[in-house]
Amino acid sequence: MQLAELTWPDVKARVPDTPFVIPVAALEQHGLHMPLATDAMLLAEVVRRVDEQLRDRVIFAPVQWLGNSHHHLEFAGTMSASPRTYLDLLADMLENVLHHGFRRVLILNGHGGNITPLKQAIFETRQKLRARRDLLLIGASYWDFRPAGRLGAEFVQDAVGHACEWETSMMLAIRPDLVKPFDHLNDLDTGYSFEPAYRGWITRERVPAGVESPGHLGDPRHASREKGDKLFETFAAGTARFLEKVIAWDGQSWEFPS
User: What is the residue-level pLDDT of the chain in tens, covering all 258 positions?
Assistant: 999 999 999 999 999 999 999 999 999 999 999 999 999 999 999 999 999 999 899 999 999 999 999 999 999 999 999 999 999 999 999 999 999 999 999 999 999 999 999 999 999 999 999 999 999 999 999 999 998 888 999 999 999 999 999 999 999 999 999 999 999 998 887 567 788 998 898 998 888 877 889 999 999 999 999 999 999 999 999 999 999 999 999 999 999 987
Number of domains in the chain: 1
Beta strands in the chain (DSSP E): 20-24, 59-60, 104-109, 136-141
Say if CB 52 and CB 46 are below 8 A apart. Answer: no
Residue 221 included in any domain: yes
Report the alpha-carbon distance of residue 244 to residue 104 in Å, rounded.
12
Residue 257 included in any domain: no
Residue 219 included in any domain: yes
Q: What is the pTM of this model?
A: 0.96
pLDDT score recorded for residue 207: 84
Torsion of CA 72, 116, 169, 209, to 10 degrees: 40
pLDDT score recorded for residue 91: 97
The DSSP line for 215-241 is: S-BB-GGG--HHHHHHHHHHHHHHHHH
Residue 254 included in any domain: no
Report the alpha-carbon distance of residue 27 to residue 38 in Å, rounded.
7
Report the alpha-carbon distance of residue 99 to residue 81 in Å, rounded.
24
pLDDT score recorded for residue 166: 97
Residue 225 included in any domain: yes
Domain that holds residue 55: 3-248
β-bridge pairing 104-109 and 20-24: parallel
| CA angle, residues 94, 85, 74, in degrees to nearest 5 | 130
Q: Domain with 7 in it: what CATH number? A: 3.40.50.10310
Residue 148 neighbours by CB under 8 Å, 6+ apart: none
Report the alpha-carbon distance of residue 4 to residue 203 in Å, rounded.
34
pLDDT score recorded for residue 188: 84
